[in-house]
A and B are shown apart, each in its own frame.
Chain A
Amino acid sequence: MNNPHHLNPTSLKSRFTTRFLRALTKIRAQKPISSSSPTEIFRRYRRIKVAADKSMAYSVRSRRIWSRAMLWKLRSRSYRRQDPCSGRRSGKTNQAIMKKSSNENTTTRREDGVGFVEEADELRQLVPGGETMNLCNLLDETAHYIKCLTTQVQEMKKIADFYSF
């Protein structure tokens, strides 16, 4: 199978793990870790979750519609926090992502009673950037997204197990 988007499991795995461990180190260094107030624990939980999603998106880079959408979302979150005047910039970037995904394939959604339009829409909500995808792209992107998510879960489990000594 000559698939240009074929995942190389070893390098995606190690790219993710390296980035994620680096992020965990930073998170540990940030606050007095001994403080275990519920707010602190929740903040740390959020930072870790964002770091995990970010590490995976950066490891895939802009090779996929879903990773581009996720990277854009992560970047505009941090822009919005620092610079309230970035509204115009974000709008343009979103259009660029949408154009790129809808021009690639002319398959349109079928409404002739094939019977899975609702399920497809539900899937669009779960896959980053899904709202802009036609059906073929959605199915293709979903397969890749699932492979990456399972890698992410596997690696996070390994790390948690190591820290659990």
Chain B
Amino acid sequence: RRSRSKQSSVSSIADDQITDLVSKLQHLIPELRRRRFDKVSTSKVLQETCNYIRSLHREVEDLSDRLSQLLASTDSDSDQAAIIRSLLMQ
């Protein structure tokens, strides 16, 4: 708290920017989205962000694994055009 009085007006603008960015991030994380109106510390937001990114990375790995098994068992090429079409139309 002591150091706050030494800060220039420039860095308090940066503080607001950081607060904004942190709350934007808080909104993206499922764990924290329900606590929108609570005061969540920046440290907690960053911590949960790290956890969330790690879980997304794991999901990508699991899905890649699943796809590699599935590619081994499917041989039909004709349904691919149908898949592409229906995915792009969503």
Enumerate the 9 nearest inter-chain pairs by beta-carbon distance, A residue then B residue, closest first. A119-B46, A139-B21, A49-B64, A44-B68, A45-B68, A116-B43, A156-B63, A163-B70, A149-B56
Residue of chain A at shortest CB distance from B82: A162
**Contact across chains for A162 and B83 when beta carbons are under 8 A apart:** yes
**Contact across chains for A44 and B61 when beta carbons are under 8 A apart:** no
Residue of chain B at shortest CB distance from A10: B90
A interface list, Cβ under 8 A from B: 13-14, 17-18, 21, 24-25, 27-28, 33-36, 41, 44-46, 48-49, 52-53, 107, 112-116, 119-120, 122-123, 126-127, 135-136, 139-140, 142-143, 145-147, 149-150, 152-153, 155-160, 162-164
Number of A-B contacts (CB under 8 A): 135
Q: Is the interface of A mostly helix, strand, loop or mixed?
A: helix
15 more contacts with CB within 8 A, not counting A27-B71, A159-B83, A160-B63, are: A24-B67, A33-B71, A33-B75, A41-B68, A44-B71, A46-B64, A113-B3, A115-B42, A115-B43, A116-B46, A119-B43, A136-B18, A146-B25, A147-B28, A150-B56
Residue of chain B at shortest CB distance from A140: B21
CB-defined A-B contacts under 8 Å, sample of 22: A27-B71, A36-B72, A44-B72, A48-B67, A52-B63, A107-B11, A107-B18, A116-B42, A122-B50, A123-B53, A139-B21, A142-B49, A146-B28, A146-B29, A155-B87, A156-B60, A157-B63, A159-B83, A160-B66, A160-B67, A160-B70, A162-B87
**Contact across chains for A21 and B14 when beta carbons are under 8 A apart:** no
**Contact across chains for B87 and A163 when beta carbons are under 8 A apart:** no
**Contact across chains for A17 and B87 when beta carbons are under 8 A apart:** yes
Contact with A along B47-90 (1 / 0, CB 8 A): 10110111011011101111111111011000010011011101
Cβ contacts under 8 Å, A45 to chain B: 64-65, 68
Residue of chain A at shortest CB distance from B1: A113
Cβ contacts under 8 Å, B47 to chain A: 119, 122
**Contact across chains for A52 and B64 when beta carbons are under 8 A apart:** yes
Cβ contacts under 8 Å, B68 to chain A: 41, 44-45, 48
Cβ contacts under 8 Å, B64 to chain A: 45-46, 48-49, 52, 156
